[in-house]
C-alpha cells in the first residue's frame, strides 16, 4: 500500500520532523501551504501532543489534512461538522484496525505519559525502538488512498 505520500512522510520523519509534521509536510500542497508553514502549523502535535503521548501525532496529521480538505468554517453548520467528524472516525477506525490504537503511548508500549517535554535525540537506537517512521508512512498512505476514494 506504500504510495508517494507515505514515502514522503517516512522521509520527513527521518529528516527530523515530528510525526505530525512528517504527515502534514507531505500534504503541504494539498493544504495550500508552504512546507515551512505546514511544519510550523503542525509542530505542537508531535509526540502525542507536546510529547504527552496522547493521540498519535501521525493521526493528528491526518486530522489536520482532513480538516483543511473537508472541514467547515461556519460554526453553526452542524451537517458539515458531523460529516467531518464521520470522516475522522472512519479513518481512526482504519488506523486502529491496522495498528491497534491511535494513542501514542499505547503504540510505543509505554505504561504512562512522558514526564519530560524534552524530545529524545534522534540516534540509530531511537529509530530501532520506534514504530514512528512506519506509522508516518501508514498514516500518509491511508490518507492518500482516502482522498483518492473521495474523488471517484
> Residue 51: enclosing H or E segment and its boundaries?
none
The pLDDT tens digits for 28-78 are: 999 999 999 999 999 999 999 999 999 999 999 999 999 999 999 999 999
Q: How many helices (DSSP H) and strands (DSSP E) are in the chain? A: 9, 0
Distance, CA of 33 to CA of 17 (rounded, Å) = 16
17: confidence class by pLDDT, cuts 50, 70, 90: very high
Distance, CA of 89 to CA of 61 (rounded, Å) = 14
Distance, CA of 149 to CA of 152 (rounded, Å) = 5
Q: Which three cell numbers stand for residue 96?
A: 486502529
The pLDDT tens digits for 71-121 are: 999 999 999 999 999 999 999 999 999 999 999 999 999 988 888 899 989
pTM assigned to the model? 0.95
Distance, CA of 77 to CA of 96 (rounded, Å) = 29
Q: Is 32 left (phi over 0), alpha (psi -120 to 50) or beta?
A: left
Amino acid at each position: 500500500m506504500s504510495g508517494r505520500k507515505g514515502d514522503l512522510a517516512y522521509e520527513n520523519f527521518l529528516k527530523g520532523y515530528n510525526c505530525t509534521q512528517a504527515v502534514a509536510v507531505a500534504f503541504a500542497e494539498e493544504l495550500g501551504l508552504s512546507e515551512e508553514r505546514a511544519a510550523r502549523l503542525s509542530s505542537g502535535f508531535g509526540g502525542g501532543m507536546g510529547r504527552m503521548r496522547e493521540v498519535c501525532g501521525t493521526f493528528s496529521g491526518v486530522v489536520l489534512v482532513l480538516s483543511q480538505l473537508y472541514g467547515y468554517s461556519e460554526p453553526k453548520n452542524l451537517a458539515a461538522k458531523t460529516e467531518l467528524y464521520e470522516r475522522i472516525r472512519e479513518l481512526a477506525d482504519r488506523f486502529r484496525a491496522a495498528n491497534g490504537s491511535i494513542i501514542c503511548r499505547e503504540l510505543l508500549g509505554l505504561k504512562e505519559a512522558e514526564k519530560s517535554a524534552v524530545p529524545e535525540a534522534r540516534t540509530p537506537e531511537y529509530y530501532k525502538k520506534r514504530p514512528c517512521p512506519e506509522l508516518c508512512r501508514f498514516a500518509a498512505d491511508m490518507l492518500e488512498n482516502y482522498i483518492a476514494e473521495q474523488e471517484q
